[in-house]
């Protein structure tokens, strides 16, 4: 009796497991899925969880990797807007964004088929974008004139537009230029043009330097002229004040010339004895002739 009960329990558990396998399925975090009913896609699933379904052949579940797929296209040669050949290689990151559209578009959801179509679209978009830009946007002595970001954005926008037009259910997450090359036939031409651009830049810098130097010299000359003019004006004013003062005292000096002469010599002597000066002089030379005839009295005891 116990053995029969255990058998029933095991059978019931197996039936539950079998029923779960038939009527449920799980979508993981890294997956998207599409449920088909009699072969036609009827339910897309993009969120991870446990879901119910009818057993085959009524419904069937197709799961796809939702993670970003990466690939690089071939190193191909295209013609720029100024008729120069340029070799380019582009890398792309893409993922499945709409499983219900992706599934019927690529024979049961073939990732390889999707990538082949994306490579074809990428080649056309890259060729068209390169053809709209001159070579100087890719190769330039002045890094500010390079337009890699704008070119990459143009290629990405064109590829995504083609994917939407073709109803592929794919999303381009990132795209960038990995490698650039020049055919041997145009390498020397590019080098010569870069050298010419460098020379133009050097000449421009020299011209700007000479112009700045001329401005500095002109400003210095103007400042020097202003300072000299101000000094001449100050000197003229000082001379004028001196002459005016001399004119005021001249009548007084004319009344007593000897006194005036004595005062002038005394003032000159005072100016020469400032700051504890020690003088060695000839008493016959004015104004030191004032010391002539002076006697020194011996100290009294």
Q: Which of 117-121, 268-272, 288-292 has the highest mean pLDDT?
A: 117-121
Residue 130 has pLDDT above 60, yes or no: yes
Residue 227 has pLDDT above 50, yes or no: yes
**Tokens at 64, concatenated:** 């796809």
Average pLDDT for 19-45: 75
Question: According to the model, what pLDDT value does residue 301 have?
Answer: 45
Question: What's the pLDDT tens digit per position in 200-209?
Answer: 778 888 888 8
Question: What's the pLDDT tens digit per position in 268-285?
Answer: 666 666 666 665 656 666
Q: Give how far Cα 138 sits from Cα of 81, 159, 183, Å.
A: 11, 20, 14
Which of 192, 197, 177 is CA-nearest to residue 87? 177
Question: According to the model, what pLDDT value does residue 142 have?
Answer: 79
Q: Are 87 and 74 in contact (CB under 8 A)?
A: no
d(CA 207, CA 199): 12
Stated pTM of the model = 0.54
**Tokens at 209, concatenated:** 């330097």
At residue 36, what are phi and psi to the nearest 5 degrees?
-105, 145
Question: According to the model, what pLDDT value does residue 145 have?
Answer: 86
Lowest mean pLDDT among 53-62, 67-76, 111-120: 53-62
Domains of the chain are: 2-65 (no CATH), 69-182 (3.30.479.30), 256-291 (no CATH)
Q: Are 34 and 62 in contact (CB under 8 A)?
A: yes
Burial of 104 (0-12, 13-18, 19+ CB in 10 A): middle
Question: What's the pLDDT tens digit per position in 154-194?
Answer: 999 999 999 999 888 899 999 999 988 877 666 666 666 66
**Tokens at 16, concatenated:** 């539950």
**Tokens at 251, concatenated:** 């009548």
What torsion do the CA atoms of 228, 233, 235, 236 make, to the nearest 10 degrees?
Answer: 140
For 81-142, give the DSSP string: TTS-EEEEEEEEEEEES-HHHHHHHTTTT-HHHHHHHHHHHHHHHHHHHHTTS-GGGTS-SS
Q: Are 137 and 146 in contact (CB under 8 A)?
A: yes
Q: Are 80 and 135 in contact (CB under 8 A)?
A: yes
Residue 293 has pLDDT above 60, yes or no: no
Question: What's the pLDDT tens digit per position in 229-247?
Answer: 888 888 888 877 776 776 6
Instruction: Please tell me which residue, 43 or 278, carries the higher pLDDT value.
Output: 43
Packed helices 148-165 and 111-130: angle between N→C axes, nearest 10 degrees: 130
Identify any residues that bridge with 175 across adjacent strands, giving them in sequence order: 92
**Tokens at 249, concatenated:** 């005292």
Lowest mean pLDDT among 50-59, 106-115, 177-186, 271-280: 271-280
């Amino acid at each position: 009796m116990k053995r029969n009960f255990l058998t029933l329990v095991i059978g019931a558990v197996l039936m539950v497991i079998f029923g779960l396998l038939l009527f449920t399925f799980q979508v993981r975090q890294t997956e998207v899925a599409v449920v088909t009913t009699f072969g036609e896609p009827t339910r897309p699933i993009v969120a991870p969880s446990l879901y119910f379904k009818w057993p085959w052949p009524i419904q069937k579940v197709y799961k796809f990797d939702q993670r970003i797929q990466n690939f690089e296209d071939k190193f191909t040669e295209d013609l720029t807007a100024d008729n120069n050949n340029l070799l380019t290689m582009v890398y792309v990151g893409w993922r499945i964004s709409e499983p219900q559209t992706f599934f019927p578009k690529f024979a049961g959801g073939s990732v390889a088929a999707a990538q082949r179509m994306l490579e074809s679209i990428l080649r056309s978009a890259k060729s068209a974008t390169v053809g709209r830009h001159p070579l100087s946007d890719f190769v330039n002595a002045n890094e500010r004139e390079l337009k890699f970001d704008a070119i990459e954005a143009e290629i990405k926008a064109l590829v995504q537009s083609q994917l939407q037009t073709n109803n592929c259910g794919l999303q381009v997450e990132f795209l960038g230029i990995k490698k650039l090359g020049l055919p041997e036939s145009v390498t020397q031409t590019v080098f010569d043009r870069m050298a010419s651009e460098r020379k133009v830049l050097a000449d421009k810098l020299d011209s700007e330097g000479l112009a700045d130097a001329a401005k500095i010299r002109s400003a210095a000359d103007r400042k020097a002229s202003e300072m000299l003019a101000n000094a001449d004006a100050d000197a003229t004013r000082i001379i004028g004040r001196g002459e005016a003062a001399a004119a005021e005292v001249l009548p007084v000096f004319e009344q007593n010339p000897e006194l005036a002469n004595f005062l002038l010599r005394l003032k000159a002597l005072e100016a020469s004895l400032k700051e504890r000066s020690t003088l060695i002089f000839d008493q016959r030379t004015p104004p030191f002739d004032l010391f002539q005839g002076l006697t020194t009295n011996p100290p009294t005891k």
